[in-house]
Amino acid sequence: MSEAIKTDVLIIGAGPCGLFAVFELGLLDIKAHLVDILDKIGGQCAELYPEKPIYDIPGIPFVTGQGLTEALMQQIKPFGATFHLNEMVETIEKIGDPGFRVKTDAGQVFECKVVVISAGGGSFQPKRPPVPGIEAYEGSSVFYAVRKMEQFRDKNILIVGGGDSALDWTLNLQPIAKRVTLLHRRDDFRAAPHSVEQMRGLVASGKMDLKIGQVTGLEGDGGVLSAATVKGNELPFFGLTMKLGPVANWGIALENNLVPVETSAFETNVSGIFAIGDINTYPGKLKLILCGFHEGALMAQKAHRYVYPDKRLVFQYTTSSSSLQKKLGVN
């Protein structure tokens, strides 16, 4: 096991909310390390919809998932946070008041005053259907996420599912694919009615196909799929699901797989452990990036009390505070 890394704050999850927390903590001179299971930074934005536009980030009329991730990385650059990717936080142990020892599945140990859980919906897991031999095609002909739309240009694509992601990708890929077929168990969809209506319009005008059924088998050679037994030779696309993972074992209260928090600082039932972004729940909670940003700002104010118990915190604006501007490297 490697030597413990000592840090003010350990952030679990490098999605947009974990990233913006680095900024708010940094303004208050609080140093952070971040751990993420993924091999990349950006959480859902980078893993599930890097090329899709987001229209509701305040002050930014349009930005893609990847674009937002890059902008956040640029914004937090002055604070020199350290990222530990491809690692999953497994355990949190209380060692002080507050003080925590956090361990990852790679054997890395952190000792910190404050833990910020920004773990979203947990870890992304492929929605692997019970089709014999499917592993052989994963990454080459069978996909669980669309990382690059171009990869699907001029291909025959079979999209399996009836939820928002399945319908979203059907509508996004239809214009560039050779042919898209949507396959669902029944002719009834959980997705947004507007998307379902659009999809039905495309089917009615002969621009795509809708089939009712299930994939029962795959045929191909060397990872290249030639046929899925749903009649045809389309490429199946199944999607990702989220699994809470070890969060359930961290000794904090959970409510329907979410972490209940109070709303003055988004602290959990354990002093010094905060939860921000999609992972938390409170009356009126909205799973929006902008809400997670707000939660990060309030969290940082309370974290300051734990990291610097003897220092008084003076509220300052970035526009007018020369000390904040110095930290940002702009003055």
Point out which residues bind ligand FAD (CB under 6 A): 12-18, 35-38, 43-45, 48-49, 54, 56, 88-89, 118-123, 168, 245-246, 277-278, 287-290, 292
Compute the least distance from the CB of residue 87 to ligand FAD, in Å: 7
> Long-range contacts of range 57-63, CB-CB < 8 Å, 24 or more positions apart?
57/289, 57/290, 58/290
**Alpha-carbon torsion (66, 68, 74, 76), positive or negative:** negative
**285 or 327: CB nearest ligand FAD:** 285
Compute the least distance from the CB of residue 276 to ligand FAD, in Å: 7
Residues forming a β-bridge with 159: 182, 237
**Residues 170 and 208: beta-carbon distance below 8 Å:** yes
Compute the least distance from the CB of residue 53 to ligand FAD, in Å: 8
Reading the block at residue 190, the tokens are 């959980």
Expressed in angstroms, the distance from the first to the final Cα of the chain is 42
Q: Which helix (H) or strand (E) holds 193?
A: helix 193-204
Read off φ and ψ for residue 161, nearest 5 degrees: 140, 170
**Residues 36 and 87: beta-carbon distance below 8 Å:** yes
**21 or 157: CB nearest ligand FAD:** 21
**44 or 174: CB nearest ligand FAD:** 44
**14 or 261: CB nearest ligand FAD:** 14
Compute the least distance from the CB of residue 323 to ligand FAD, in Å: 28
**86 or 331: CB nearest ligand FAD:** 86
Where are the strands (E) in 118-217, listed by range? 123-126, 156-160, 179-184, 209-212
Please count the other Cβ atoms lying within 10 Å of the Cβ belonging to residue 44. 20
Reading the block at residue 130, the tokens are 């019970």
Compute the least distance from the CB of residue 27 to ligand FAD, in Å: 19
**33 or 228: CB nearest ligand FAD:** 33
Name the residue with the smallest CB distance to ligand FAD.
Answer: 120
Compute the least distance from the CB of residue 42 to ligand FAD, in Å: 7
